[in-house]
Structure 1
Amino acid sequence: MRPPDTEVELKLAIGSASARRAAEREVGAARPRTLESIYYDTGDHRLRAAGYCLRVRREAGKWSQAVKGGAGLARYENERLIKSAAPVFALLDSTPAAGLIGAAEDLRPIFRVKVERRSRIRKVGLSRIELSLDEGELAALDRTWPILELELELKSGRPCDIFAEARRLAGAEALVPAFASKAERGHALRDGALGEPAKVHFPPFDRELSAGGAFQAIGRACLEHLALNADLIRSGQRIEATHQARVALRRLRVALTVFKPFLAGDRRESLKGELVWLTGELEGARNLDVFAFEAFRPAARTLADPAPMAALGQALLGAQQAAHARAASAVDGARYRRLLIDAADWIETADWSGDALTGREAEGPARQFARSALDRRRKALGKRVKTLNWKDPLARHKLRIEAKKMRYASEFFAGLADGRRARRRLAFTDVLETLQTSLGRLNDIWVGQRTALAALNRLGERRDADGAGFAAGVVVGQDLARAAPLIKAAKRESRAFAKTVDWW
């Protein structure tokens, strides 16, 4: 039985005409209802910062007021009937919003939502799930954004049945799990960020949070980060969205490593395998983007005869287009949709502890787990630095991976740092990020050689192939010339990192 003041729901974005027809079939001839909502917050957005929202909604001439919050499948919701569009301050007393709002006059409308909703109840096993097709728009300032989604809400029964239903719906149609709430999208629209490549946002951690709760919060944030950027890849946005999607995948893979002590092996390894698959599908596009912008463009201005560089540029452009088409196909396919659903199911239902011992570790304090996890990561990174052959590109790449794990782990637990620890964490992360940047650039130089060769192979026996090959040699040669100063900088930065103070 779920706790009171809790809603359990999952949204599926409708990404194609066939998906819309499938959603229409699910709700059948249900009568549409008009839902008009106003979302309120304080001038400095304290509700949003704390992970809550205040919604006033009109439906069939009646008004209701709801405080909603939290993340994941099960979220807090306290809803009460009111008489008008004005929030009733007294009704907030029994909600988490009470301590965040100083006085009623602090509240102001932030954005609005209007949708036509059609719903019907479906029985799935022993559960009752309401399927609602929402079509309408968000409005904030002078901006609007369309809404078209199928919402699954558990009315009674088991949360796992929502995921079973999502698998059925997403199997053959482009019904894609969407983890951003209407409130999150409304704020993003007001900020001018909706529809732009998204960066990850980790929620603040409660001091009493368990290690398992920390894993859930981090996993949710990574999945939302991935889903938002994959949506942009499908819609034609390429370079930055592809980069951010890869970052989301790497972070989630690092989370599986950091929290490995209490994650059961089989499902963790299965998810890891799918994340590796999707990373590989996006890899070619990202490598070509980096080579084109970081190596080709600067070198293109150095040849007196532009023809060889033009031939190489055409080869790179063709390779980029093919690689981005492959990336878009991957995030538009059924395998990607299954990945999102299976990952969310595993994270949300907490079915990741293999036995009683690991279960107790998951239930232990996140702060205590963070200390041991960060100690392990720092030890692994330090050992890699001490034994590194700086002339070996593969060894540098492995060091880069360890540095990335250390940085991401530090970011995961940032919500546990306050006061002096927060300042130490920033200093720690700044040094680590500088080292990672130098190692990343060295890796780009190494990968760039293979990237250039692959692009040249597209030219085959064309007459300008020799000229393009000469241009590729110039580009790679100029790129390689940057390696020695970067190695020197990375050595210096690794020594600086060795002197940093553990913030945890």
Structure 2
Amino acid sequence: MADSKREIERKYEATGTTRLPDLGRVAGVAAVEHRGVMELDAVYYDTEDFRLAAGSLTLRRRTGGDDAGWHLKLPVASGIRDEIGAPLSDTLPPALAALIRSRVRDAAVVPVVRLRSARDVHLLSGADGVPLAELSVDEVRAERLHGGRRSTAWTEIEVELADDGDPAFLDAVEKRLRKGGIRPSASPSKLSRALAETAPKRERRREPVAPPGTAGDHVLAYVRRQVTAIVALDPAVRRGLPDSVHRMRVATRRLRSALRTYRKVLDRSVTGPVGDELKWLAGELGVDRDQEVLDARLLARLDALPRTLVLGPVRARLKVWSVARRSGSRRRTVAVLDGARYLALLHALDTLLADPPLLPAAAAPPGKVLARAVHKDHRRLAARIGRAAALPPGPDRDLALHDARKAAKRARYAAEAARPALGKPARKSAKRLKAVQSVLGDHQDSVVARDALRVLAVQAHAAGEASFTWGLLYGREEATARARERELPGVWAKASRAEIRP
């Protein structure tokens, strides 16, 4: 069974003659305990083309020390990683294999580097005896196991914050180390340093990446960012981390929107099937997310009511209804990520980036090509808002406003994608369109909430419970929808003034 912890650490350069300063003089440190030297032996795994390393992930099997086993480290921010551990075994544990699937796909993971370290450990504690951090001096010997057999060695200092520690404490330690002439390491991890120092000369020479120049360059750069986000968020979705499903769904929608908007740059006969699969994935991811948003909205509305207006077991019924609708949704999401259809989509995205179906317009300067595409999406939104405004209040207008919301989202994404090329006008347009999307989104959420409240009222009535509160909440949602409709013309007028014209 895999377990997880947040690892916050910093690394520093050292040599065999480096002397540690007096760590007892670090602010907040009351005691420094020398824990002795431990021998660690770790084999790091990756695909033959180093896909994990390219994403700053590390996968190892380590013996020695007090945490022998398999460890997968996922980047969170600079100096911060989530470490997922599993018991020592001869083969890669399935739980860890699932977390790297979006990157390795169907490729095998093989041993790439072996690191043997002599770790001299010092525990820094506060006045209350609570551990603050662990500082170790590591004598590292690295051996390349894939792509030749070369070796290297170095000494480094590693400072890892204790569980639930204050990250500011690492600043105090660093200040003391710098006074002793010790500087931060240029490598973010032992593995990255080992790979860099044992790489063949041909691998060390990297061609500089040219900035986007053509319309095709800009569109592909945006597409690549969304694909990278989908792949990177896969482990977080599997782990059930907060907001991960939403962020992955947004990346999926942004990507699909770009493929549709920039059809003059990328051939739709090729990208169309990919867009259909992205729509499928967004729909699957939305099952749990939509219910989560609806639950939060109904609870907020209920919390805002005076107690005297909450009649009957309203909260209990809402909880039972929500649990019934969400039952198994996370298992279903993980099953989708484990499925062949999702894996095929990832392969299709790889192919799209490796051999993009560029049209003649892709070779043109980005200004006019991207501006025309953004303008076209803006005009589509204008038509849908006009169509909705011409309808009387009711279900038909609600549906038309929902269509307008989807058009607003697409127009906003188009402007965001064009921002590196078009600059401030695209940024301003995207910001104004986001406001339109927000108003239309709140309106649509009220429509969905009213449907749910009607179902809940019927269920309460059938059970002999008072349905007054459900009706009251329904009325408030109806008033919210009308307020958003009144707000829309003003917000849309501002967005229209920021329209990008080719």
Structure 1 and Structure 2 fold alike (TM over 0.5): yes
Change (3 A) 1:367 1:312: same
Change (3 A) 1:405 1:116: closer
CA distance in 1, matches of 2:455, 2:268: 37
> Which structure has the greater CA radius of gyration?
2
Show CA shifts across 1:452-496 (max 9, x none).
Answer: 567899x8xx99855496654443332222111111111211122
1:234-249 aligned at under 5 Å gives the runs 234-238=238-242, 240-249=243-252
- Preserved contact between residue 314 and residue 469 of structure 2 (Cα < 8 Å): yes
- Preserved contact between residue 33 and residue 60 of structure 1 (Cα < 8 Å): yes
The equivalent residue for 1:333 is 339
Q: Does 1:114 align with 2:190?
A: yes
The equivalent residue for 1:34 is 115
Q: How many aligned residue pairs are there?
A: 344
Q: Does 1:217 align with 2:215?
A: no
Show CA shifts across 1:172-214 (max 9, x none).
Answer: xxxxxxxxxxxxxxxxxxxxxxxxxxxxxxxx993x5222222
Change (3 A) 1:447 1:111: farther
- Preserved contact between residue 141 and residue 154 of structure 2 (Cα < 8 Å): no
One-letter amino acid of the structure 2 residue matched with residue 378 of structure 1: H
- Preserved contact between residue 33 and residue 116 of structure 1 (Cα < 8 Å): no
Structure 2 residue matching 1:388: 3-state secondary structure: helix
- Preserved contact between residue 35 and residue 116 of structure 1 (Cα < 8 Å): no
Change (3 A) 1:476 1:281: farther
CA distance in 1, matches of 2:462, 2:304: 19
1:426-465 aligned at under 5 Å gives the runs 426-452=427-453, 465=463
Structure 1 residue matching 2:298: 3-state secondary structure: helix
Structure 2 residue matching 1:387: 3-state secondary structure: helix
The equivalent residue for 1:368 is 368
The alpha-carbon deviation at position 412 of structure 1 amounts to 0.5
Change (3 A) 1:27 1:82: closer
Structure 2 residue matching 1:305: 3-state secondary structure: coil
CA distance in 2, matches of 1:342, 1:308: 47
- Greater Cα shift, 261-270 or 438-447: 261-270
Match among 249, 256, 259 for residue 259 of structure 2: 256
CA distance in 2, matches of 1:266, 1:297: 45
CA distance in 2, matches of 1:218, 1:413: 9
The alpha-carbon deviation at position 8 of structure 1 amounts to 7.1
The alpha-carbon deviation at position 375 of structure 1 amounts to 2.1
The equivalent residue for 2:399 is 394
Q: Does 1:285 align with 2:291?
A: no
The alpha-carbon deviation at position 235 of structure 1 amounts to 0.4
Show CA shifts across 1:123-146 (max 9, x none).
Answer: xxxxxxxxx9xxxxxxxxxxxxxx
The equivalent residue for 1:498 is 496
The alpha-carbon deviation at position 503 of structure 1 amounts to 7.6
Change (3 A) 1:490 1:19: same
Structure 1, unmatched stretches of 5+, are: 1-6, 37-57, 63-80, 87-104, 119-131, 133-152, 157-203
- Preserved contact between residue 312 and residue 468 of structure 1 (Cα < 8 Å): no
Structure 2 residue matching 1:413: 3-state secondary structure: helix
- Greater Cα shift, 8-17 or 325-334: 8-17
Change (3 A) 1:242 1:259: same
One-letter amino acid of the structure 2 residue matched with residue 259 of structure 1: Y
Structure 2 residue matching 1:486: 3-state secondary structure: helix
The equivalent residue for 1:92 is none
Normalised by the size of structure 2, how large is the TM-score? 0.58
- Preserved contact between residue 428 and residue 503 of structure 1 (Cα < 8 Å): no
1:140-289 aligned at under 5 Å gives the runs 206=211, 209-238=213-242, 240-289=243-292
The equivalent residue for 1:381 is 381
Change (3 A) 1:110 1:395: farther
The equivalent residue for 1:320 is 326
Normalised by the size of structure 1, how large is the TM-score? 0.58
The alpha-carbon deviation at position 382 of structure 1 amounts to 2.4
Show CA shifts across 1:197-241 (max 9, x none).
Answer: xxxxxxx993x5222222221111111222333321210224x21
Change (3 A) 1:471 1:395: same
Show CA shifts across 1:46-93 (max 9, x none).
Answer: xxxxxxxxxxxx87489xxxxxxxxxxxxxxxxxx999899xxxxxxx
- Preserved contact between residue 274 and residue 349 of structure 2 (Cα < 8 Å): yes
Change (3 A) 1:463 1:110: farther
Change (3 A) 1:249 1:84: same
The equivalent residue for 2:162 is none
CA distance in 2, matches of 1:31, 1:427: 48
CA distance in 2, matches of 1:380, 1:205: 34
CA distance in 1, matches of 2:368, 2:481: 40
The equivalent residue for 1:408 is 413
- Preserved contact between residue 256 and residue 275 of structure 2 (Cα < 8 Å): yes
The alpha-carbon deviation at position 277 of structure 1 amounts to 1.1
CA distance in 2, matches of 1:433, 1:205: 31
Change (3 A) 1:8 1:380: farther
The equivalent residue for 1:489 is 487
CA distance in 1, matches of 2:408, 2:248: 20
Change (3 A) 1:379 1:503: closer
- Preserved contact between residue 211 and residue 366 of structure 1 (Cα < 8 Å): yes
Change (3 A) 1:227 1:449: farther
The alpha-carbon deviation at position 300 of structure 1 amounts to 4.5
Change (3 A) 1:486 1:34: same
The alpha-carbon deviation at position 498 of structure 1 amounts to 2.1
Structure 1 residue matching 2:190: 3-state secondary structure: strand
The alpha-carbon deviation at position 258 of structure 1 amounts to 1.4
- Preserved contact between residue 259 and residue 275 of structure 2 (Cα < 8 Å): yes
- Preserved contact between residue 262 and residue 362 of structure 1 (Cα < 8 Å): yes
Structure 2, unmatched stretches of 5+, are: 1-47, 60-71, 73-91, 99-103, 118-139, 145-150, 157-180, 204-208
CA distance in 2, matches of 1:409, 1:25: 34
- Preserved contact between residue 371 and residue 418 of structure 2 (Cα < 8 Å): no
